[in-house]
Amino acid sequence: MMNTSEKRRSGFCSQCVSKCGVISITENDRLKKVIPDKSHPNGGICPKGASAPQIINHPDRILFPLKRTNPKGEEPKWKRIKWEEAIQTITDKLKQISSETGAESVSYTFPTVGASGSFNWGPYLHRLMNLYGTPNYISHTNVCQWARDEGSKYTYGVGLPQPDFEHANLILIWGHNPADTNLQTWKRLMGAKKRGSKLVVIDPRRTTTAAAADLWIAPNHGTDSALILGCIRFLIENHSFDHKFLLNWTNAPFLVDKQTGKFLRPENHHPYEFLALDKNEKPYKIDTREDPQTWSENILLTGEYTNESVSSETVFSQLMKRVSSFTIEKVEKITGVPYEKLVELGELLSDGDPISYYSWNGLEQHVNSSSTNRALCILYSLTGYFDKQGGNIILPSLPVNPIKDQNLIPRSQQQKRLGREKRPLGAPKISATGYDFADAVLNETPYPMRALLSFGSNMVTQNPESGNMMEALKKLEYHVHVDMFHNPMTRFADIVLPAAHAWESPSLLAGFDGSLQTAQHIQYNPAMSKASGETRPDLQIIMDLALEMGYEEEFWNGDIEAAFNYYLEPLNLTLDQLRSQPAGISIPLQVNYCKYSEKKNGGVSGFSTPTRKLEIYSEFLLQHGYDPLPQFEKPLTVPYYQDKSYNFPLVLSSNKLKSFCHSQHRNIAKLRKMHPDPFIEIHPQTAHMYKLNDGDWIQLVSPHGRMKAVTRMTQSIPVGTVYTQSGWWDKCDELELLGFDPFSAEGANVNQLIGIEQLDPMSGSEPLKSYRCQIYKMS
């Protein structure tokens, strides 16, 4: 009998955004089982985490470095090479490109931290490429979380703070289904409901989260901003807003020149001095550096001021005019939400103190996402619960040394990021988009794009206009792809490097998302399972490239433990100390509420905005050509709002499945059993119009492409809509299920159908949740 050795070790799962605390069970250093760690502040597990042994032990793993031996465009043929040759070849090419056309001619990408272990090694890849000199990190920021995390800064000065579900009496979940996508958020929500909190879910689809809500609001696709503007009007009309907060901490009382849209300011003013309206309806100077209690009792929230040279009114007066037409009747007509439910929502917002909210993809993936998010920020501002207990709070974070370090790349290079000229305030401030990358490769504008380093991402099935991406990858001079499995990206790669899985790699997480309890937890994860074949952790591959590029000093001479210790230095903590505490260490953090009101330099801290106030009205956006107040922008990708929609009368939307992370895991039998085939959800009434039965194979068609899938009847979506999922391509040999060609009409790649003729004007978001389509039954 073979001797076996079973070990149980504490750690956390890195396969999705939840980062659940788990116990890994190994035999002979190979992962056999994963179970939840009930003692962990983030304890839990989902089907993906439980399937980790099947993922890392899968027979289709890439086990050795590979080099292409035939032209791109043909089915690739691979030659096994040594790691030394691969690293040398890659770095030689990078140096050559940099010397010939500049480092910006190279792009790089890696998967979202919400669906991979890239939280651990992604910052090191950023660091490497910053040192190299390219700003062209390609991501899905524009459709994943830009409006929430970056767009919110134009109102709050920070991204959306964490919702304090543990103390909220009313919780709004807007366009998010944590029951299927974030176990830890779902657990927090259910805990809040058990405590007595009311839950409101806004989503066109009756998701698992919506089914648990006290009130479910289902607006027509792309009409959320009309719903939000109607809610603002309801609160104002019913005097259900925090008058004192608006006067003290927002720019609602500032006077605005009606002609220019600029704030009125005193003569010889300081940048933080503005004019408001006193109780005699005369201009009154305020200084936003001062404690507002010294002047807020003297000013009005609404009113106008006119003299021979200017006609002005307060920001709040302008907001009232902006929302005045959004009566309940009008909002009902636009959104399709019944009158009674709109009133119920308004009353809950009026009486639900304290209130917290959270939003995600359902608000992001539209062509009006920026304006919609800004409207939501303003609605929340009216409640006065920003950074208050039970509201959305800015949690403290564990102090660590930065790894990415944007100071390593010159500002002149940062300005060259793809898309920055077109959308300087949007996603290109952070990262480039897939469509800008494809355009740069195919058209060589604004400069030649010659190479791509892709670590684990799948730009083919996860970006609209997949055909363009395919042609770009074909044309690309040099492409290195790092992954655990072959996917549509490796078809066009010159070199493929075998990555170890997160379970086979060391990782370090300082602060888990969620509450204060999880934010103060830090944990080291050693490699839980022996690496397969010649696979290497992504971080080791990055270290190898950095050393060959000559960045020994900046990369701790390739010593991962030294890098982790550098990261931990401000905590006065070492990796050895964390090793001695496998379940992790919680370092107490203190929450201070209403940090904007803290005394500082003889005044107050204020907000990190141009006016030092929470900005209901944005002069900054006005100066860059955008509306300073949000408005309802018709979603022109939705058939109802198009003049020529009769050929494509259905709304195409999408959702995520609990069993898969984006385009991953469909080759894992344990997970694929849950959803064997790509499917399209369709309401029975819609199906009846097309004479469809449950389980019929159909073609889904848009102006841009086709795909096939099987019908699945459900009453959880509106009539006239269809829902599917991105990421279908892989086969599952164990279940004898074939794959789907992501570039063919016979495949199931929904992103072939999505066009980018309409984009969000600020963020560049794509209409992944609200496009137009038609369906045909397959014979």
Choose among 83, 75, 131: nearest CA to 106: 131
pLDDT, tens only, 182-214: 999 999 999 999 999 999 999 999 999 999 999
Q: Name the pairing type of β-strands 721-724 and 451-455.
A: unpaired
pLDDT for position 268: 83
117: confidence class by pLDDT, cuts 50, 70, 90: confident
Distance, in Å, from the CA atom of 44 to the CA atom of 184, rounded to the nearest integer, reads 8
Q: Which domains does the chain have, with CATH numbers?
A: 6-56 (2.20.25.90), 66-144+400-586 (3.40.50.740), 162-394+605-623 (3.40.228.10), 639-757 (2.40.40.20)
End-to-end Cα distance, the chain: 56
Place of tokens 């001619």: 105
Distance, in Å, from the CA atom of 232 to the CA atom of 234, rounded to the nearest integer, reads 5
Sign of the C-alpha dihedral, residues 642, 645, 646, 650? negative
Cα dihedral 450, 446, 148, 110 in deg (nearest 10): 0
pLDDT for position 588: 95
Q: What is the mean pLDDT of residues 14-21?
A: 90
- Residue pair 372/225 in contact by the 8 Å Cβ criterion: yes
pLDDT, tens only, 383-410: 999 999 999 999 999 999 999 999 999 9
pLDDT for position 645: 60
1: confidence class by pLDDT, cuts 50, 70, 90: very low
Q: What is the mean pLDDT of residues 212-235?
A: 98
Residue 713 has pLDDT above 90, yes or no: yes
Choose among 196, 171, 195: nearest CA to 185: 171
Identify any residues that bridge with 355 across adjacent strands, giving them in sequence order: 170
pLDDT for position 283: 95
pLDDT for position 5: 80
Among 20-24, 58-62, 637-641, which is the least confidently predicted range? Answer: 637-641
Distance, in Å, from the CA atom of 421 to the CA atom of 410, rounded to the nearest integer, reads 17
DSSP string covering 215-258: EEE-PPTT-HHHHHHHHHHHHHHTT-S-HHHHHHHBSTT-EEET
414: which residues sit within 8 A by CB, 6+ positions away?
135, 406
DSSP string covering 264-286: P--TT--TTEEEEEBTTSSEEEE
Q: Length of the chain, please?
A: 779
Give the type of residue at 667. N
741: confidence class by pLDDT, cuts 50, 70, 90: very high
Q: What is the mean pLDDT of residues 636-640?
A: 90
SS3 166: coil
Distance, in Å, from the CA atom of 187 to the CA atom of 193, rounded to the nearest integer, reads 10
pTM of the model: 0.96
**Averaged pLDDT score across all residues of the chain:** 95
4: confidence class by pLDDT, cuts 50, 70, 90: low
Q: What is the mean pLDDT of residues 703-716?
A: 96
643: which residues sit within 8 A by CB, 6+ positions away?
none
